[in-house]
Amino acid sequence: MTPLGWTWALACRRGPSHEKAELRLQDAVKCFVAAAESKPLVIIVSDGAGTASLGGEAASLICRTLSVNARQYFCSSDTLPEDDVLQHWLDDVRAVLSEAASRRNLALRDFAATLILFISSGVESVI
What per-residue confidence (pLDDT) applies to 49? Answer: 86
Which value, in Å, is the radius of gyration of the alpha carbons in the chain?
16
CA distance 40 to 37: 8
What per-residue confidence (pLDDT) applies to 50? Answer: 79
SS3 assignment, position 86: helix
What per-residue confidence (pLDDT) applies to 121? Answer: 93
Instruction: Report the length, in residues, of the chain.
Output: 127
What per-residue confidence (pLDDT) applies to 10? Answer: 81
What per-residue confidence (pLDDT) applies to 22? Answer: 67
pLDDT per residue of the chain (127 residues) written in tens, 0 to 9: 555 588 888 877 766 666 666 666 688 999 999 999 999 999 999 998 878 889 999 999 999 999 999 999 999 999 999 999 999 999 999 999 999 999 999 999 999 999 999 999 999 999 9
CB atoms within 10 A of CB 123: 9
